[in-house]
Amino acid sequence: MGPGRPRGTREREIGVHPLVRTTGYVPGVSTRRNPMTGILAGPIDAPPADRLAAVFPAVPAIPGMSVTHRASGFTGTLVRIESGGAEIRGRTGLERVFRLAPGAFSVEGRAVSLVRAASPTAPRGAVAEVTASGSVAVPDAPARVARAGRLLVEGVHDAELVERVWGDDLRIEGVVVERLDGIDHLAGTIEVFRPGPARRLGVLVDHLVDGSKESRIAAGHRHPDVLITGTPFVDVWQAVKPSVLGIDGWPHVPKGVEWKSGVCGALGFGDAPTTWRRILSCVRTYADLEPELVGSVERLIDFVTDTS
């Protein structure tokens, strides 16, 4: 076998490998193929697609819903529907696309056929618009009167990022986001706010990892109507996926160097305000954010709006 030759691709002296001649497949070479085709796609005498569709209930594909691809067992969150496929993000952040075949997915343990979600007010066949957070948009819906409950975030950049992605949802739910300006102020804020069952408080914290100052402060506040979630990132900037900015990863900042200053110097985008404007402008939807931030914010919104 010559150098650089993939394993299993040595030609026979008597001619081309039979598999290559009949199927075009070269043994041993990894290729991307449609998992819904080939001899493993189903029996030759499988029922027509319309009969299969009648067997499995049709479920509107709403971004953000939890689904499982039955054939592979791949489970995750639905990102979008496009080109006849469903894009699903797994628990590790891996994204895969699966064909929208009848009965190909499982939702809440039930085999279903995912179909494009149609807006209740749109013409038949139209696709529902979604917000930046993946929720179904409600056109021309007035903002709800503000709830007593609140979301607290550490700084102005956190607030702007939450507004950019979840702003439409928060206005519909009547949830106000306020700045904490540092977790050191959390105890005083909770005391003044006086949370209760109908007045819940959700707190989003950066650098919530074992042994950090933030984790110690958060652990000191135990209240049934206060939920503290967070991300492992030093700053909310890191919650934006590097690929969105066209970089391979966030720069390493040496100890003793202020993190944002170090990042600005490494990226060369300008000072902190200029760099942040560039970062924020690249964020279009929740898919541009790391799952740790998305999950934390979603938990807080559910907590604050659940007054049952």
Distance CA(259)–CA(256), nearest Å, equals: 9
Note whether 63 and 87 are within 8 A (CB).
Answer: no
Query: What phi, psi does 201 have (nearest 5°)?
Result: -125, 125
pLDDT at 236: 96
pTM of the predicted structure, to 2 decimals: 0.60
Note whether 138 and 172 are within 8 A (CB).
Answer: yes
Distance CA(169)–CA(136), nearest Å, equals: 9
More confident residue, 10 or 101: 101
Alpha helices in 24-68 (DSSP H): 49-55
155's CB contacts (< 8 A; 6+ apart) are 179, 180, 181, 182, 236
The class (CATH top level) of 150-240+283-305 is alpha beta
pLDDT in tens, 155-204: 999 999 999 999 988 988 899 999 998 888 899 999 999 999 999 999 99
More confident residue, 14 or 108: 108
Query: What phi, psi does 161 have (nearest 5°)?
Result: -70, -40
Residue 47: pLDDT band with limits 50, 70, 90: very low
Domain locations along the chain: 49-116, 150-240+283-305
Note whether 206 and 236 are within 8 A (CB).
Answer: yes
Choose among 143, 141, 136, 148: nearest CA to 304. 148
Residue 11: pLDDT band with limits 50, 70, 90: very low
pLDDT in tens, 49-105: 445 445 788 888 877 788 999 988 899 888 877 767 888 888 777 888 898 888 999
More confident residue, 231 or 51: 231
- Strands lying side by side in the sheet with 66-69: 58-61, 110-116, 105-107, 66-69, 75-82, 85-90, 95-99
- Rg (C-alpha) for the chain, rounded Å, is 25
240: helix, strand or coil? strand
Note whether 291 and 89 are within 8 A (CB).
Answer: yes
Q: Which residue has the tokens 């607030």?
A: 159
The residue-averaged pLDDT of 114-136 equals 62
Alpha helices in 174-212 (DSSP H): 186-193
Choose among 273, 244, 247, 250: nearest CA to 263. 250
The residue-averaged pLDDT of 244-272 equals 94
Pairing of strands 66-69, 105-107: antiparallel
Q: Which CATH architecture has domain 49-116?
A: Roll (2.30)
Helix or strand (DSSP H, E) at 50: helix 49-55
pLDDT at 83: 66
Distance CA(126)–CA(118), nearest Å, equals: 6
**Both tokens of residue 168?**
């439409």
